[in-house]
Amino acid sequence: MNYDALIRARSLPGGTFIFTDVDRLGFWDLEHVSHLYRQMKNAGLRVLNDPAVVRTRYPLLRALRAAGLNDFNAYRVDEIEAIEHFPVFVRKIHGHRAPLSDLLQTREELLKTIDSAIAAGTTARRR
């Protein structure tokens, strides 16, 4: 069931509901489904991944690295000076499509790729 159908639903079937792709939701939709999660839980439904607290891609990758579970890291555009190891690739923080680049071998290639993406209209700000 997608979020639009969940928000419009007057009743729900039994089962387990897993809230995923919450990073695709806008602020108000995220607020709404966070409330729905609680209502569903209070009604006795089995619900997983509380949208109000579940980690999205970037914080999850950082936490997995900090815990020693990933041998790679993730960086935002304003953190690129902290990158210690190459190769890297560039992707949109909220995008679910292919990365914006192939593997980049140097910081110079990385900076050029970021500049090109920004020149093409990709935003560099955090949301």
22-25-28-30 Cα dihedral, nearest 10 degrees: -10
Residues 68 and 115 in one domain: yes
Residues 69 and 42 in one domain: no
pLDDT averages per 10-residue partition of the chain, 127 residues: 91 92 90 96 95 91 96 92 93 81 95 92 70
What pLDDT does 57 receive? Answer: 86
What pLDDT does 104 receive? Answer: 96
Residue 55 forms part of a structural domain? no
Residue 78 forms part of a structural domain? yes
pTM over 0.85: no
- Give the containing element (helix H, strand E) for 119: helix 107-119
Residues 84 and 40 in one domain: no
Residues 41 and 70 in one domain: no
What pLDDT does 92 receive? Answer: 86
Phi, psi at 17, each rounded to 5°:
-110, 125
* Domain limits for position 20: 3-48
Residues 68 and 108 in one domain: yes
What pLDDT does 56 receive? Answer: 86
Question: What's the structural domain count of the chain?
Answer: 2
